[in-house]
Amino acid sequence: MDINYLQSFITVVEAGSFAEAARRLDLTSAAVAARIKALEDDMGVELVRRSGRSVKPTASGMRIIESTRSVVRQIRDMRAMAMDRNNQGELRLGCFVSAMTNILPPILKRLYDIYPEASVFVTPGASIELCRKVAAGELDAAIVVEPQFAVAKHCVWQKFMEEPLLVIAPAHMLGRNAHDVLTSEPFLRYDRSVYGGQLADRYLRDHDLHPRQRLEINSLSSIAVMVHEGLGVSLVPDWSAMWQSLDIIQIPLPGRTLVRRNGLVWNQHGHHARLAACIHEQARAVFGTGNAGP
Protein backbone atom coordinates (compact mmCIF):
# COMPACT_ATOMS: atom_id res chain seq x y z
CA MET A 1 0.00 0.00 0.00
CA ASP A 2 1.60 3.27 -1.18
CA ILE A 3 2.03 5.90 1.55
CA ASN A 4 1.34 8.60 -1.06
CA TYR A 5 -2.12 7.12 -1.62
CA LEU A 6 -2.77 7.14 2.13
CA GLN A 7 -1.64 10.77 2.35
CA SER A 8 -3.92 11.65 -0.58
CA PHE A 9 -6.88 10.09 1.25
CA ILE A 10 -6.09 12.11 4.39
CA THR A 11 -5.75 15.32 2.38
CA VAL A 12 -9.02 14.78 0.51
CA VAL A 13 -10.88 14.25 3.79
CA GLU A 14 -9.32 17.37 5.34
CA ALA A 15 -9.74 19.55 2.23
CA GLY A 16 -13.29 18.46 1.42
CA SER A 17 -12.71 18.39 -2.35
CA PHE A 18 -10.45 16.83 -4.94
CA ALA A 19 -9.58 20.27 -6.31
CA GLU A 20 -8.35 21.66 -2.98
CA ALA A 21 -6.55 18.41 -2.15
CA ALA A 22 -4.83 18.55 -5.54
CA ARG A 23 -3.69 22.13 -4.84
CA ARG A 24 -2.23 21.14 -1.48
CA LEU A 25 -0.49 18.08 -2.93
CA ASP A 26 0.67 19.86 -6.10
CA LEU A 27 -1.11 17.29 -8.28
CA THR A 28 -3.98 17.36 -10.75
CA SER A 29 -7.50 16.57 -9.51
CA ALA A 30 -7.52 13.53 -11.83
CA ALA A 31 -4.32 12.21 -10.23
CA VAL A 32 -5.76 12.58 -6.73
CA ALA A 33 -9.00 10.87 -7.78
CA ALA A 34 -6.99 8.03 -9.34
CA ARG A 35 -5.05 7.54 -6.11
CA ILE A 36 -8.25 7.37 -4.07
CA LYS A 37 -9.76 4.89 -6.55
CA ALA A 38 -6.66 2.68 -6.34
CA LEU A 39 -6.78 2.79 -2.54
CA GLU A 40 -10.50 1.88 -2.56
CA ASP A 41 -9.84 -1.02 -4.94
CA ASP A 42 -7.03 -2.25 -2.68
CA MET A 43 -9.21 -2.09 0.45
CA GLY A 44 -12.39 -3.26 -1.23
CA VAL A 45 -14.58 -0.47 0.14
CA GLU A 46 -15.69 3.01 -0.89
CA LEU A 47 -13.81 5.58 1.19
CA VAL A 48 -15.14 8.92 -0.10
CA ARG A 49 -18.28 10.04 -1.91
CA ARG A 50 -18.90 13.11 -4.06
CA SER A 51 -21.66 15.52 -3.05
CA GLY A 52 -21.79 18.27 -5.66
CA ARG A 53 -18.36 19.84 -5.74
CA SER A 54 -17.45 18.60 -2.28
CA VAL A 55 -16.19 15.18 -1.21
CA LYS A 56 -17.07 13.54 2.10
CA PRO A 57 -15.76 10.36 3.69
CA THR A 58 -18.08 7.37 3.78
CA ALA A 59 -18.75 5.50 7.02
CA SER A 60 -15.85 3.19 6.11
CA GLY A 61 -13.62 6.19 5.43
CA MET A 62 -14.49 7.74 8.78
CA ARG A 63 -13.66 4.48 10.57
CA ILE A 64 -10.12 4.36 9.21
CA ILE A 65 -9.10 8.03 8.94
CA GLU A 66 -7.37 8.24 12.35
CA SER A 67 -5.61 4.89 11.80
CA THR A 68 -4.48 6.13 8.40
CA ARG A 69 -2.98 9.27 9.94
CA SER A 70 -1.18 7.12 12.53
CA VAL A 71 0.20 4.74 9.87
CA VAL A 72 1.52 7.63 7.77
CA ARG A 73 3.23 9.18 10.80
CA GLN A 74 4.81 5.87 11.80
CA ILE A 75 6.12 5.16 8.30
CA ARG A 76 7.71 8.61 8.07
CA ASP A 77 9.29 8.21 11.50
CA MET A 78 10.67 4.80 10.55
CA ARG A 79 12.19 6.22 7.37
CA ALA A 80 13.79 9.08 9.27
CA MET A 81 15.21 6.82 11.99
CA ALA A 82 16.53 4.33 9.43
CA MET A 83 18.63 7.07 7.82
CA ASP A 84 20.44 7.97 11.05
CA ARG A 85 20.70 5.93 14.25
CA ASN A 86 20.75 9.20 16.23
CA ASN A 87 17.62 10.53 14.53
CA GLN A 88 14.52 10.51 16.72
CA GLY A 89 12.06 10.54 13.85
CA GLU A 90 10.42 13.13 11.68
CA LEU A 91 9.29 16.50 13.03
CA ARG A 92 5.78 17.24 11.79
CA LEU A 93 5.58 21.02 11.33
CA GLY A 94 2.51 22.99 10.29
CA CYS A 95 2.67 26.39 8.62
CA PHE A 96 -0.08 28.83 7.68
CA VAL A 97 -0.23 29.14 3.92
CA SER A 98 0.99 32.70 3.34
CA ALA A 99 4.04 32.05 5.54
CA MET A 100 5.29 29.19 3.38
CA THR A 101 7.33 31.39 1.05
CA ASN A 102 8.90 34.12 3.18
CA ILE A 103 8.76 33.02 6.84
CA LEU A 104 9.41 29.28 6.72
CA PRO A 105 12.53 29.15 4.46
CA PRO A 106 14.85 31.38 6.55
CA ILE A 107 13.78 29.57 9.73
CA LEU A 108 14.53 26.15 8.24
CA LYS A 109 17.86 27.40 6.90
CA ARG A 110 19.00 28.30 10.40
CA LEU A 111 17.58 25.05 11.82
CA TYR A 112 19.53 22.93 9.34
CA ASP A 113 22.70 24.87 10.14
CA ILE A 114 22.34 23.50 13.68
CA TYR A 115 20.73 20.12 12.92
CA PRO A 116 21.81 19.20 9.38
CA GLU A 117 20.34 15.70 9.70
CA ALA A 118 16.93 16.82 10.97
CA SER A 119 13.96 15.37 9.09
CA VAL A 120 10.95 17.70 8.79
CA PHE A 121 7.56 17.17 7.15
CA VAL A 122 5.71 20.44 6.50
CA THR A 123 1.91 20.66 6.37
CA PRO A 124 0.26 23.90 5.15
CA GLY A 125 -3.11 24.95 6.53
CA ALA A 126 -5.20 27.53 8.33
CA SER A 127 -3.87 28.64 11.72
CA ILE A 128 -6.94 27.49 13.69
CA GLU A 129 -6.77 24.00 12.18
CA LEU A 130 -3.02 23.77 12.72
CA CYS A 131 -3.43 24.64 16.41
CA ARG A 132 -6.01 21.87 16.70
CA LYS A 133 -3.63 19.39 15.10
CA VAL A 134 -0.82 20.29 17.47
CA ALA A 135 -3.15 19.86 20.45
CA ALA A 136 -4.32 16.48 19.10
CA GLY A 137 -0.78 15.25 18.52
CA GLU A 138 -1.12 15.17 14.74
CA LEU A 139 1.61 17.82 14.47
CA ASP A 140 4.58 18.49 16.74
CA ALA A 141 4.57 22.26 16.14
CA ALA A 142 3.11 24.89 13.83
CA ILE A 143 3.88 28.39 12.61
CA VAL A 144 0.58 30.22 13.10
CA VAL A 145 -1.04 33.60 13.45
CA GLU A 146 -1.67 34.39 17.13
CA PRO A 147 -4.54 32.17 18.36
CA GLN A 148 -7.60 34.08 19.55
CA PHE A 149 -8.30 31.34 22.11
CA ALA A 150 -6.40 29.55 24.86
CA VAL A 151 -4.14 26.81 23.49
CA ALA A 152 -4.27 23.35 25.07
CA LYS A 153 -2.63 23.05 28.50
CA HIS A 154 0.16 20.81 27.20
CA CYS A 155 0.98 23.32 24.44
CA VAL A 156 2.70 26.68 24.37
CA TRP A 157 2.44 29.57 21.88
CA GLN A 158 5.16 32.18 21.62
CA LYS A 159 5.38 35.00 19.11
CA PHE A 160 8.41 35.78 17.00
CA MET A 161 7.10 38.39 14.56
CA GLU A 162 4.82 41.44 14.50
CA GLU A 163 3.18 42.91 11.41
CA PRO A 164 1.46 46.29 11.77
CA LEU A 165 -1.40 47.10 9.41
CA LEU A 166 -0.57 49.40 6.52
CA VAL A 167 -1.98 50.49 3.19
CA ILE A 168 -0.45 49.18 -0.03
CA ALA A 169 -1.10 51.11 -3.24
CA PRO A 170 0.29 51.55 -6.77
CA ALA A 171 3.55 53.51 -6.82
CA HIS A 172 2.01 56.56 -8.52
CA MET A 173 0.01 57.26 -5.34
CA LEU A 174 3.18 58.15 -3.43
CA GLY A 175 2.59 61.07 -1.06
CA ARG A 176 -1.14 60.53 -0.56
CA ASN A 177 -2.84 60.14 2.81
CA ALA A 178 -3.67 56.58 3.91
CA HIS A 179 -7.31 57.31 4.82
CA ASP A 180 -7.91 59.25 1.62
CA VAL A 181 -6.55 56.37 -0.45
CA LEU A 182 -8.70 53.84 1.40
CA THR A 183 -11.94 55.75 0.85
CA SER A 184 -11.39 57.04 -2.70
CA GLU A 185 -9.78 54.12 -4.55
CA PRO A 186 -11.17 50.64 -5.38
CA PHE A 187 -10.57 48.48 -2.31
CA LEU A 188 -9.18 44.94 -2.36
CA ARG A 189 -10.28 43.47 0.97
CA TYR A 190 -8.26 40.85 2.83
CA ASP A 191 -10.65 37.99 3.67
CA ARG A 192 -12.51 38.64 6.92
CA SER A 193 -12.61 34.94 7.75
CA VAL A 194 -8.89 35.10 8.67
CA TYR A 195 -7.42 37.07 11.55
CA GLY A 196 -5.46 39.56 9.44
CA GLY A 197 -8.61 40.43 7.51
CA GLN A 198 -10.53 40.81 10.75
CA LEU A 199 -7.92 43.26 12.04
CA ALA A 200 -8.22 45.34 8.88
CA ASP A 201 -12.01 45.32 9.14
CA ARG A 202 -11.80 46.41 12.79
CA TYR A 203 -9.52 49.31 11.85
CA LEU A 204 -11.92 50.51 9.15
CA ARG A 205 -14.89 50.35 11.52
CA ASP A 206 -13.02 52.01 14.40
CA HIS A 207 -12.13 54.95 12.13
CA ASP A 208 -15.51 55.08 10.35
CA LEU A 209 -13.92 54.43 6.97
CA HIS A 210 -16.11 53.07 4.18
CA PRO A 211 -14.02 51.88 1.23
CA ARG A 212 -15.41 51.09 -2.23
CA GLN A 213 -14.85 47.35 -2.13
CA ARG A 214 -13.97 45.71 -5.43
CA LEU A 215 -13.28 42.17 -4.19
CA GLU A 216 -12.47 40.09 -1.11
CA ILE A 217 -9.82 37.36 -1.22
CA ASN A 218 -7.80 35.21 1.18
CA SER A 219 -4.35 35.63 -0.39
CA LEU A 220 -1.86 38.33 0.53
CA SER A 221 0.30 37.51 -2.47
CA SER A 222 -2.65 37.83 -4.85
CA ILE A 223 -3.65 41.16 -3.30
CA ALA A 224 -0.11 42.47 -3.71
CA VAL A 225 0.02 41.49 -7.40
CA MET A 226 -3.41 43.04 -8.02
CA VAL A 227 -2.25 46.30 -6.44
CA HIS A 228 0.85 46.12 -8.66
CA GLU A 229 -1.47 45.76 -11.67
CA GLY A 230 -3.41 48.87 -10.64
CA LEU A 231 -6.63 47.09 -9.67
CA GLY A 232 -6.96 48.91 -6.36
CA VAL A 233 -5.49 49.44 -2.89
CA SER A 234 -5.60 47.33 0.25
CA LEU A 235 -5.20 47.34 4.02
CA VAL A 236 -3.08 44.39 5.12
CA PRO A 237 -0.47 43.27 7.66
CA ASP A 238 3.06 44.37 6.72
CA TRP A 239 4.35 41.64 4.40
CA SER A 240 7.20 43.70 2.94
CA ALA A 241 9.47 40.84 1.88
CA MET A 242 6.83 39.68 -0.58
CA TRP A 243 6.48 43.08 -2.26
CA GLN A 244 10.09 43.99 -3.00
CA SER A 245 9.87 43.05 -6.69
CA LEU A 246 6.49 44.76 -7.21
CA ASP A 247 5.81 48.38 -8.19
CA ILE A 248 3.79 49.22 -5.09
CA ILE A 249 4.24 51.51 -2.09
CA GLN A 250 3.45 51.20 1.60
CA ILE A 251 1.51 54.03 3.24
CA PRO A 252 1.64 54.01 7.05
CA LEU A 253 -1.57 54.55 8.98
CA PRO A 254 -1.80 57.65 11.18
CA GLY A 255 -1.16 57.11 14.87
CA ARG A 256 -0.98 53.74 16.57
CA THR A 257 -2.28 50.86 14.49
CA LEU A 258 -3.33 47.26 15.01
CA VAL A 259 -0.74 44.49 14.77
CA ARG A 260 -0.89 40.89 13.61
CA ARG A 261 1.44 38.59 15.56
CA ASN A 262 2.92 35.37 14.20
CA GLY A 263 4.49 32.69 16.35
CA LEU A 264 5.04 29.02 17.01
CA VAL A 265 2.74 26.66 18.90
CA TRP A 266 4.14 23.35 20.07
CA ASN A 267 3.59 20.48 22.48
CA GLN A 268 6.00 21.29 25.30
CA HIS A 269 5.92 17.68 26.54
CA GLY A 270 6.16 16.09 23.11
CA HIS A 271 8.86 13.91 21.58
CA HIS A 272 10.21 16.85 19.56
CA ALA A 273 9.76 19.61 22.14
CA ARG A 274 13.48 20.49 22.15
CA LEU A 275 13.61 20.75 18.35
CA ALA A 276 10.41 22.83 18.32
CA ALA A 277 11.89 25.21 20.89
CA CYS A 278 14.96 25.52 18.66
CA ILE A 279 12.72 26.45 15.71
CA HIS A 280 11.19 29.23 17.80
CA GLU A 281 14.62 30.44 18.85
CA GLN A 282 15.76 30.61 15.21
CA ALA A 283 12.55 32.40 14.22
CA ARG A 284 13.23 35.03 16.89
CA ALA A 285 16.75 35.45 15.57
CA VAL A 286 15.46 36.02 12.03
CA PHE A 287 12.44 38.19 12.76
CA GLY A 288 13.47 39.87 15.98
CA THR A 289 10.50 39.54 18.38
CA GLY A 290 11.43 37.83 21.59
CA ASN A 291 8.82 37.50 24.30
CA ALA A 292 5.46 35.75 24.33
CA GLY A 293 3.31 38.59 25.59
CA PRO A 294 1.06 40.87 23.53
CA distances from 269 to 140, 143, 243 (A): 10, 18, 38
Architecture of domain 91-161+260-288: 3-Layer(aba) Sandwich (3.40)
User: Which carries the bigger pLDDT value, residue 51 or residue 1?
Assistant: 51
Rg (CA), the chain: 21
User: How confident is the model at residue 80, as a pLDDT?
Assistant: 59
- Same CATH topology for 91-161+260-288 and 164-258? yes
Domain boundaries, the chain: 3-83, 91-161+260-288, 164-258
Read off φ and ψ for residue 238, nearest 5 degrees.
-65, 110
Output the average pLDDT for the chain.
88
User: How confident is the model at residue 294, as a pLDDT?
Assistant: 33
| pLDDT tens track for 97-113 | 888 888 999 999 999 99
User: How confident is the model at residue 88, as a pLDDT?
Assistant: 57
User: How confident is the model at residue 205, as a pLDDT?
Assistant: 95
DSSP-based three-state secondary structure for 141: strand
| DSSP strands (E only) in 88-211 | 91-96, 120-125, 141-145, 155-170, 186-190
pTM: 0.66
Of 232, 226, 166, 158, the C-alpha closest to 196 is 166
Lowest mean pLDDT among 66-70, 109-113, 224-228, 262-266: 66-70
- Domain 3-83 classified CATH 1.10.10.10? yes
The confidence band for 271, taking pLDDT boundaries of 50, 70 and 90, is confident
| pLDDT tens track for 35-64 | 999 999 998 999 999 888 889 999 999 988
Q: Which fold has domain 164-258?
A: D-Maltodextrin-Binding Protein; domain 2 (3.40.190)
User: Which carries the bigger pLDDT value, residue 2 or residue 170?
Assistant: 170
- Given a cut of 80, is residue 129 above it in pLDDT? yes
